[in-house]
Amino acid sequence: MKNIYSPADIERLLESILGRPADIARLPEQERALATERRNVFVDAVGAAVAAEVLTLRSGSIPPVVVFAGDDLNGAYAFAAATALHDAGCPASVYFINVANTRCADVVRARTIFLETAGQGFLFETVDMDLQMPEFVPGMIVVDGLFGREYKKPLRGGYQVLARKINASEGFVVSIDLPSGMTPDLSVGMINNNIVHASLTLTLVGPSLAFYMPENADLLGRWKALPLPYPRDLLHGIRCRARLVDAAGVRKIMPRRNPFASKADLGTALVCAGSYGMLGAAVLATRGALRSGCGKVVCRAPRCAFYVMQTAVPAAMFETDGEPLDIHSFDSDIEADAVAIGPGIGRSEATVLALDSFLKYMRAKRRPVILDADALNCISRRPSMLDYLPPRSILTPHAGEFDRIFGSHPTASTRLLKAIEAAAHYNVVIVLKGHYTQTVWPDGSVLVNSSGTEALATAGSGDVLTGLMAGLMAQKMPPEYAAVAAVYIHGLAGKIAAASNGIAGTTSEDIADALGPAIQSLTEQQQKR
């Protein structure tokens, strides 16, 4: 799994490379010279890397390039990039916003080198409130080197005007480090009109959680981490609380199937699902569990589900509490290794009371459960159930379900912050479903899924995920790992299904059928290793 850095992680790493100017100034002369040279080398490396990306964009065409430089470190990167572009035969004009008459040594040095390389004719410097602006033309490449992460307040005055002019320019905007005006954390409360909207963001170290929030997609555009000369020991020394889940990471935690195993060795999953008119949810969740690799799946549903379940999923056992239309009791005689509750169970008062009673029982047993869909809606009707969640249970809400339980949230960023708080408070795992599904562990870790696809945006997809999660837990996977692995495999299955049926034509049944090939693709690589 790859690191997703917190703003503090990135600041510590950059500080270890660059040092603090005030600290450098106090060093003995020889050490000061070495520290200054190390800082200069890094600034030039950033500039060269940015220039290389711009030259790639210009391949086969000659759109003009303009560079906006601020009066601090990001401005030095911008000047260095412009210098590297001139060295490569690409004339770039720099618009330097220097109303504060900067004394930043990095900028002074980079500006001097740029003038020596390009000449005064390519520098347009604003030193008062009379903002100098280029003539924007369609297709122009605009390099945003105003602020990056060093300015942590909303843009004001002329900078707001400049951001809006850049956004209206119809150019291809390349932001260095971060789009100017965007904060490096989860960016709560930003006004997007006052932030540069990048077509490409070139981050210096790597992504933060803000990069995976849907409200920031229009700000960041496409993004990539620049290949910069960081010492490997520094990178490996960072222990990030957020990670990007990939195939290699999931392979490591997947259960290994013993060739001599029987179904008894592979665990039993109990799926409590369905009500009159919602039996499809029970079918899909049960199919998801059956495709997980567990040994046995039991579906507990109302009596009306009997014929449907016995014909649609004959490989699963069926159990009922005897009620005709919905479930009034979740107490089962099945010795299950994992229990999932929720798909299609409805929200009748009897079902709500049954869930309340069952959660108290499972909490006393300290046995985690998976809660999805209508189970979450039942909790929203009786929030006191949150206090009886068994430790390390898994909640799998989409945005609407989450907000019905924990209150309305205007952005995915605020929702994630609340999920981190709630997971720790209730000692549960929360799976915030979306394109970049985030699995939040009780210890504050956030695992961001990388296999998402728009093919999963179809009714019943979440039911398949719930069943898959139960099947993995039944195979003795810890809840934290089962949640992460299920989300990744579910996304991979969506891509496999879409390859045959098209993104728009993929249904939840297709996703369930693709779970086996998705798991096989991971375990085959595991066996080769």
Strands (E), 135-264: 141-145, 172-176, 200-203, 222-225, 242-245
DSSP string covering 46-58, please?
Answer: HHHHHHHHHHHHH
Burial of 416 (0-12, 13-18, 19+ CB in 10 A): buried
Cβ burial of 451 (10 Å; 0-12, 13-18, 19+) is: buried
Written as six digits, the tokens of 167 are 């956004």
Question: What's the angle, vertex CA 291, arms to CA 289 and CA 294, rounded to 5?
Answer: 65
pLDDT at 186 (0 to 100): 83
- Cα–Cα nearest to 284, from 331, 329, 316, 328: 316
- In order of their start, the domains of the chain are 2-240 (3.40.50.10260), 247-528 (3.40.1190.20)
Q: How far apart are CA 179 and CA 173, in angstroms?
A: 9
pLDDT value of residue 190: 67
Q: Which of 393, 478, 381 is nearest to 431 (CA)?
A: 393
pLDDT at 50: 98
Which pLDDT belongs to residue 479? 98
Tell me, what's the pLDDT at 529?
Answer: 53
CA distance linking residue 467 with residue 373, whole number of Å: 12
pTM over 0.85: yes
pLDDT tens, residue order, the chain (529 aa): 899 999 999 998 899 889 988 899 999 999 999 999 999 999 999 999 999 999 999 877 778 999 999 999 999 999 999 999 999 999 999 999 998 888 899 999 999 999 999 999 999 999 987 888 999 988 899 999 999 888 777 888 888 999 999 999 989 999 999 999 998 888 666 667 889 999 999 999 999 999 999 999 999 999 999 999 887 777 777 889 999 999 999 999 999 989 999 999 999 999 999 999 999 999 999 999 999 999 999 999 999 999 999 999 999 999 999 999 999 999 999 999 999 999 999 999 999 999 999 999 999 999 999 999 999 999 999 999 999 999 999 999 999 999 999 999 999 999 999 999 999 999 999 999 999 999 999 999 999 999 999 999 999 999 999 999 999 999 999 999 999 999 999 999 999 999 999 999 999 999 999 999 999 999 876 555 5
